Amino acid sequence: MARRPGNAPGLSPQDITDILNLIYLQSHRQLVWFSWRPVSPDPGDDLVLDGAVAGRCDFVVSFNERHLQAAREFGIEVLKPAELLKLIGEIK
């Protein structure tokens, strides 16, 4: 989704690839020992939330804020990709 036209205004395809590679290099595999499902209208989003809670994440980055509203109950902020890029100083 990050590479869809208009989803990352002001960034070239190479910029997007570089950012995704950086995120990948900083990430780790998180085992999920407990499931909070169902909390979202979309079962796929429940999987994202389970991983974020297990990993004690501060943020979930998604265009689908509506389905991830339950993240806030766990102290996890939901950001759109452009909001994350602003937060980390990649765009203004």
Is-contact 39 46, C-beta < 8 A?
A: yes
Confidence of residue 82 (pLDDT cuts 50, 70, 90): confident
Query: Which of 3-7, 24-28, 72-76, 82-86 shows the lowest mean pLDDT across its residues?
Result: 3-7
Residue 74: alpha-carbon gap to chain centroid: 15
Q: Which of 14-23, 33-42, 74-83 has the highest mean pLDDT?
A: 74-83
- Provide the residue type at 87 as one letter: L
Task: Give the domain extent around 51.
Answer: 39-92
- Tally of CB atoms within 10 A around 20: 12
Per the structure, the count of domains in the chain is 1
Dihedral pair phi/psi, residue 74, rounded to 5°: -105, 10
Structural domain includes residue 87: yes
Q: Which residue has the higher pLDDT, 27 or 1?
A: 27
Q: What is the percent of the chain where pLDDT is above 70?
A: 99
Structural domain includes residue 20: no
pTM (predicted TM-score): 0.74
Structural domain includes residue 90: yes
Structural domain includes residue 44: yes
Q: How far apart are CA 81 and CA 88, in angstroms?
A: 11
